[in-house]
């Protein structure tokens, strides 16, 4: 006879309690209660601003005002990148940035799936039609192992993992950082490029992929600022044999 105090219901309650502890059941922005494993409620989600036209065809910097047809922002007009275009899902916005920071520095890994949902807005752009149909691999911008040791996870990889599931794309760790780079924040564009030279290399998984097929690649990162990091990654991927590189990020920084 089973112990009178022991029941499967008890187990389920315990399971739910454990899950509630692992995944907070309140919205990270307004603190209203939530269910179903979400971390942002629908009303907060709908208030976060996605990028909409007009925006730069290269870096997706939004433009306030009316422009007919495609345009390049003044920044991109004289630059040549190794990627075809970079498309962020969301505009620069304090709340989107807060969610990114809470994942990155607060290690709230459950936020990666919400950020993937925000990044997925970028895929509504018709320029992704071919890459989504051909299932190009989603490649996260890598962190150096020393920063990885300190932070224990790579936010781009976590967002990429969720986005790959959402968009039904293969996730491929094709790049590694072979040289630790100093933080880019205070550097000029020229200094950033020097800082990133030779920083990335193809991994074994990357070369294995390329030995079986020739495809394009979709690079994924959290924020696009100057584009120097994704450009350095794209150069490496193109050199290795990927036919095209498209870039997707959660937010335009
Ligand atoms: Zn909310
Ligand atoms: Zn631009």
Predicted confidence (pLDDT) per residue in 191-240, tens digit: 877 778 888 999 999 999 999 999 999 999 999 998 999 999 999 999 99
Q: Among the bound ligands, name the one nearest to the CA of residue 252.
A: 2
Task: Tell how far the Cα of 32 is from the centroid of ligand 1, in angstroms.
Answer: 6
Reported as a pLDDT band with limits 50, 70 and 90, residue 64 is confident
- Residue 33: is its pLDDT beyond 70? yes
Structural domains in the chain, CATH included, are 9-47 (no CATH), 48-252 (3.40.50)
Computed over every residue of the chain, the mean pLDDT equals 87
| Average pLDDT of the segment spanning 26-35 | 88
| Average pLDDT of the segment spanning 53-75 | 89
- Residue 172: is its pLDDT beyond 80? yes
What is each CA distance from 20 to 15, 17, 50, 65, 115, in whole angstroms?
9, 5, 29, 45, 20
pLDDT of 145: 63
Q: Which residues lie closer than 8 Å to 49 by C-beta, 6 or more apart? A: 90, 91, 93, 96
Task: Tell how far the Cα of 210 is from the centroid of ligand 1, in angstroms.
Answer: 43
Task: Tell how far the Cα of 89 is from the centroid of ligand 1, in angstroms.
Answer: 19
| Average pLDDT of the segment spanning 50-67 | 91
Q: Which residues surround ligand 2, an ion (CB under 5 A)?
A: 56, 58-59, 61, 73, 76
Task: Tell how far the Cα of 2 is from the centroid of ligand 1, in angstroms.
Answer: 43
Task: Tell how far the Cα of 176 is from the centroid of ligand 1, in angstroms.
Answer: 36
Task: Tell how far the Cα of 154 is from the centroid of ligand 1, in angstroms.
Answer: 26
Cα separation of 143 and 59, whole Å? 22
Task: Say if residue 54 is preceded by a cis peptide, omega within 30 of 0.
Answer: yes
Reported as a pLDDT band with limits 50, 70 and 90, residue 182 is low
pLDDT of 92: 96
Question: What pTM did the predictor assign?
Answer: 0.86
Helix, strand, coil shares of the chain, percent, nearest 5, are 45, 15, 40
pLDDT of 12: 47
* Higher-pLDDT residue of 9, 31: 31
* Higher-pLDDT residue of 18, 118: 118
According to DSSP, residue 59 is labeled: T
Q: Among the bound ligands, name the one nearest to the CA of residue 71.
A: 2
Task: Tell how far the Cα of 155 is from the centroid of ligand 1, in angstroms.
Answer: 22
Task: Tell how far the Cα of 209 is from the centroid of ligand 2, in angstroms.
Answer: 31
- Residue 171: is its pLDDT beyond 60? yes
| Average pLDDT of the segment spanning 180-189 | 72
Task: Tell me the percentage of the chain whose pLDDT exceeds 70.
Answer: 86
Radius of gyration over every alpha carbon of the chain, rounded to an integer in angstroms? 20
């Amino acid at each position: 006879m089973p112990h009178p105090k022991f029941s499967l219901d008890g187990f389920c309650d315990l399971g739910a309690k454990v899950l509630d502890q692992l995944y907070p059941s309140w919205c990270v922005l307004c603190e209203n209660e939530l269910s179903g494993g979400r971390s942002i409620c629908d009303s907060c989600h709908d208030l976060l601003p996605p990028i909409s036209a007009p925006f730069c065809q290269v870096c997706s910097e939004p433009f306030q005002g009316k422009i007919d047809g495609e345009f390049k922002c003044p920044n991109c007009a004289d630059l040549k990148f190794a990627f075809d275009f970079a498309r962020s899902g969301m505009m620069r916005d304090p709340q989107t940035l807060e969610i990114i920071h809470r994942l990155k520095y607060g290690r709230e890994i459950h936020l990666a799936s919400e950020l993937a949902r925000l990044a997925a807005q970028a895929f509504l752009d018709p320029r992704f039609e071919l890459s989504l149909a051909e299932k190009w691999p989603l490649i996260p911008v890598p962190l150096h192992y020393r920063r990885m040791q300190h932070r224990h996870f790579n936010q781009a990889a976590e967002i990429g993992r969720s986005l790959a599931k959402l968009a039904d794309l293969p996730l491929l760790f094709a790049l590694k950082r072979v040289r630790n780079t100093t933080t880019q924040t205070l550097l000029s564009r020229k200094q950033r490029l020097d800082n990133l030279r030779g920083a990335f290399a193809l991994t074994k998984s990357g070369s294995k992929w390329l030995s079986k097929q020739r495809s394009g690649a979709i690079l994924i990162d959290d924020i696009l600022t100057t584009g120097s990091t994704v450009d350095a990654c794209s150069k490496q991927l193109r050199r290795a044999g990927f036919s095209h590189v498209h870039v997707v990020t959660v937010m335009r920084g």
